[in-house]
Amino acid sequence: MKLLVAVKRVVDYNVKVRVKSDKTGVETAGVKQSMNPFDEIAVEEAIRLKEKGIATEIVAVSVGVTQAQETIRTALAMGADRGILVETDVAVEPLAVAKLLKAIAEKEGAELIILGKQAIDDDFNATGQALAALLGWPQGTFASKVEIADGKATVTREVDGGLETVELKLPAVITADLRLNEPRYASLPNIMKARKKQIDIVKPADLGVDVTPRLTIVSVAEPPGRKAGIKVPDVATLVDKLRNEAKVI
């Protein structure tokens, strides 16, 4: 079974994000970037499926600027077999990404697609769902456990009320949640081997997809600063302040 895993290059989660002076977005120049953490989990799950003999090939796919090859190399160092970069300087939105992944999945003959449930930069949480809809495949989102056997995927999902288990007939789309697994660190030998693994570079036009943005960013601003809290001596004072100062009761 050929498995497709999507990886996104985002501002590293350890970096404190700052808004640009012109308020058009967040500052990325000179800022450390790395693989989206949820996509790391997706890559790890794909590798584990290959180690179990379920997957025969893992193809890591990214959409973005030339530097996104570094993100694909990380996936290759973890254990993916080869990579595909859809190169574009446009800030690609979830629907466009889903269309690109659909085109690649059909071209590659993938039977399972795993991606992170959301990216930590835009927090859309929409690409996996849109991709499943475009392909007409069943989907298992927010996965915390995945088991595959007899042409079916049994996915345990994290939902508001607890856990939900669904059975999907392959081919299918799965989005990884935080508790699905603990991603491995790439060893130095594997990092060296990843340099020799194949990365194909294509353009959106090669896949017949228009990635022109449909959304316009009007302004980006930091959230207002929070006032320092205070301590009150008793419940009566607390109630008084809530009623007369905060005016919430």
Q: How far apart are CA 116 and CA 176, in angstroms?
A: 5
235-247 per-position pLDDT tens digit: 999 999 999 988 8
SS3 content of the chain, % helix, strand, coil (to 5): 30, 25, 45
Whether residue 227 has pLDDT greater than 90: no
Model confidence at 47, pLDDT cuts 50, 70, 90, reads: very high
Tell me the β-bridge partners of 245.
none
CATH architecture of 2-223: 3-Layer(aba) Sandwich (3.40)
130-148 per-position pLDDT tens digit: 999 999 999 999 999 999 9
b/e map of 111-139 (b: 16 or more CB within 10 Å)?
bbbbbbbbbbbeeebbbbbbbbebbebbb
* Arithmetic mean of pLDDT over the chain: 95
User: What CA–CA distances, in Å, run from 117 to 29, 78, 86, 175, 193?
Assistant: 26, 19, 20, 5, 29
Q: How far apart are CA 77 and CA 42, in angstroms?
A: 14
| The model's pTM | 0.88
User: What CA–CA distances, in Å, run from 86 to 33, 51, 217?
Assistant: 18, 27, 23
DSSP string, 27-45: --TT--EEE-HHHHHHHHH
Helices 127-135 and 94-108 pack at an angle, to 10 degrees, of: 50
Instruction: Look up residue 173 and give its two tokens.
Output: 């789309």
